Structure 1
Amino acid sequence: MSQSPTPGRIAVVASRWHAEIVNEAVAGFTAAVTAAGYDRPTLVEVPGAFEIPLAVQRLARSGEYVAVAACGLVVNGGIYAHEYVASAVIDGLMQVQLATDVPVLSGVLTPLHFHEHEEHTNYFTRHFRQKGEELGAAAVGVLTVNGDAS
């Protein structure tokens, strides 16, 4: 009896700013892709969201991964840098995807309002888990459409 081929490897890059929240996105992503038959994704951690595109690019160029996802939280810290950071990260991820032909999925979120108090932390922790699951489903969907899944 022949076995079906194992689906290709997936990686996820996660920023460490607000790690307790971002980790939930990684957990949701991991649950979704492993439920679809993929191995546990390779996890690469970076200090902040701004560092995500370079790590994603290195993974995509390695030839070892059929998709790379990114998880991060960019917040308004009161100095108006968040919009620039979020834009740079998303633009960088799109450039990597187009240059490498490896699907790159973004779970880098920029909430309109985020304050480090219990109510927001609890809400965004739940929200990021859901978004991670949606990100995983999107990865599986993209790979299925592209014929990369078995």
Structure 2
Amino acid sequence: MTHTISGQMLSESGNFAIVVARWNELVTGRLLSAAIDTFRRHGVAEDRITVIHVPGSFEIPLAAETAASSGKYVAVCCLGAVVQGETQHHDYINHAVAQGLMTAMQRTGVPIAFGILTCENLDQALNRAGGKAGNKGEEAALAAIEMTSLLTKIPGPTDG
């Protein structure tokens, strides 16, 4: 018989951190608003949410890992927007941020949700921050809630 394990989309306990980049604030502000609203709608009171502002997306992994390793948060939701310019700079930033967040999540065992937009232009970013393509801030908050619940249900090595 197949066993299925899945997380719930309601959080009744634990604190959440949101790490958000100030760079491209027109976009990241919308991601942040949607993430906070989503947390609230899914049972996370405002006093259980800490928002950590960093200069840009490149700084997100260090702040996320520091928050995750503090023992104060059940999950960290990361929000940023890297918009392609005339050079390949965005490729280096995107790769470094993704790798840094994955490494931090594996190292700490704390869910770290990836809400970093990687877009070709500002219009595309705005569409993913509440426009035609939804809001990645909402999606990242939902992922954080679901993963927090899911990890409590997966048997560990001592659970047999």
TM range (shorter): 0.7 to 0.9
- Structure 1 position 133 matched with structure 2 position 138: yes
Whether the 8 Å contact between 2:38 and 2:141 is mirrored in structure 1 is yes
1:32 aligned onto 2:27: no
Query: 1:124: Cα distance to partner?
Result: 4.6
**Aligned-pair distance for 1:120?**
5.3
Name stretches of at least 5 consecutive residues in structure 2 with no aligned partner: 1-10, 154-160
Amino acid aligned to 1:7: S
Q: Decide whether the 8 Å contact of 1:25 with 1:129 is kept in 2.
A: no
1:100-139 to 2 correspondences below 5 Å = 100-111=108-119, 113-115=120-122, 122-127=126-131, 130-139=135-144
1:5-44 alignment runs, 5 A limit: 6-40=12-46, 41-44=49-52
Runs of 4+ in structure 1 off by over 4 angstroms are: 119-122
Which structure 1 residue ranges, 5 or more long, are not aligned?
none
Maintained 8 Å contact 1:28/1:133: yes
Query: For residue 103 of structure 2, what is the aligned residue in structure 1?
Result: 95
Moved more, 48-57 or 36-45: 36-45
Q: CA deviation at 1:146?
A: 1.6
8 Å CA contact 1:10–1:65 kept in 2: the answer is yes
Relative to its length, the structure with more helix (as a share) is: 1
Q: How does 1:58-73 map to 2 (within 5 A)?
A: 58-73=66-81
Between Structure 1 and Structure 2, the one with more strand by share is: 2
State the one-letter code of the partner of 2:42.
A
Shift in Å at residue 130 of structure 1?
1.6
In the alignment, which of 86, 89, 94 is matched to residue 86 of structure 1? Answer: 94
Aligned mates of 2:139, 2:150 — CA distance in 1 = 16
Identity of aligned residues (%): 33
Distance 1:105 1:51 in 2: 15
8 Å Cα contact 2:115-2:140 kept in structure 1: yes
Q: State the distance in 1 between where 2:102 and 2:144 align.
A: 15
Q: Return 79-88 or 121-130, whichever deviates more.
A: 121-130
- The size of the alignment, in residue pairs, is 140
The aligned counterpart of 2:150 is 145
Q: What amino acid maps onto 2:130 in structure 1?
A: R
Letter aligned with residue 15 of structure 1 = A
Deviation at 1:64, TM superposition (A): 0.2
Q: Which amino acid aligns with 1:12?
A: I
